[in-house]
Structure 1
Amino acid sequence: MIDWIRTTLFRIVFYAGSVPIVTTVPISALFGQRVVMAHAVVWTRFHHWAARIFLGIRIRIEGERPAGPALYASKHQAMFETLELQWMLDGPAMAIKEELARIPAWGWAARSYGALVVDREGSSGALRRMLREANAAKAQGRSILIFPEGTRVTPGEQPPLKPGFAGLYRMLALPTVPIAVDSGRLLPKRGAKRAGVVTFRFGEAILPGLPRAEIEARVHRAINVLDAPARGQS
């Protein structure tokens, strides 16, 4: 019962507070990328506060980030990390679903922010477009954040990496930092959320130039080290 009360209060406060923030972001986008990025920070900080106060969610960060831009490849188990990693990584260009980019006004604002639009069907044209967007973000000195398994998964699921990750790794020639996250334990897609600690574990930076099979295997292993089956096998 306590978990449901917490979850309900969080939903009321967070979504009600998000309406004016999200609906006004296209206005911020009119004034350039710096302004829309600052606007995004407001939303991510608000989310962090609401999750802490109403859900009782705290964050533990393990490992270290490299200095300078990097390609961050993160596990994705909840909406939580899509927002938390924005402030944690100082506003990286993040991959988003194509459906979000099609939302009138908001999608345009997301592109102004520097979002990388991902086509889940994996068409060659869409992949080339994403690579161009990522290269433009790199030229600005920004990091890139992707969820290489391609979708949100439940704890225990470890799908293979999508082809777009290898393309980004090869083209960007940036250090690649895998991020393991265990948010799904406390924040399931359906049902009540639970209080506790969400761990973000930054893996060792991987230098560019590795063969595709090797980089995919290393990143896949690293982003799943906090997963329940992986823990049980260790």
Structure 2
Amino acid sequence: MRLAGKTAVITGGSRGLGRAIAERYLLEGARVVCAARSPYDIKEVLDLAPGRGAYVPVDVTSDDSVAALMAETAERFGGVDILVANAGVSRDGRVDRLPVADWQDMVATNLTGVFLCTRAAIPYLERSPAARIVNVSSSMATRVAIGAAGYCATKAAVEMFTRVSAIELGPRGILVNSLAPGILDEGMGQQLTANDKIWARYKTRLALGRPGGADEAADAAVFLAGPESSYVNGHVLEVNGGLLWS
């Protein structure tokens, strides 16, 4: 129960990696607010720890919506100790064909959303004796992927935002790190592994020869939120099984 007594807000927390992190945090004793546009089947997650979980709708691109999320979390559970900024979107398209609206959607959700959540959480995190921010990035932040300029660029920006935030907020008792998963058997990675032709090409780039489990990435998110990471700040933790890229 490494997170016992802590309250975590997880954006994009109703499915994919966000859901997996929510499940692990609940099992580790935390109170968890799963924040997302849609609840999907979140009841299954909340039933893991009745009374310690909640779903709160949020639009991470809206300053008012994010502020209301933090306020409701603090009112319901007494504060905020951990922010996991996980909400993200991907829109495929080469640079010369990527619609401006798709580019703006990725920037608004993947980057501005992290900024808004961080800013809204700071007044609450400052009151915590062990405040943590975990920004979810991607292995594609540091690797070139044709047709993914918007996603790669926004995730690279998240990692630099993480480093700057760590320096600015560290003196205020808030540790900021980034989790950069590789190909997982969840969300976008699940779509990749489901396509036999594409997966045959990507599989050779993985030293372990398999996609990672969402639970394996969630374990890393527990580390970054827990007491073992008390001297880890401004770090990007890659969880990718040894991912080569060409």
TM-score, normalization by structure 2: 0.41
TM-score, normalization by structure 1: 0.42
Structure with the largest fraction of helix: 1
The structure showing larger relative contact order (alpha-carbon pairs under 8 Å, at least 6 residues apart) is: 1
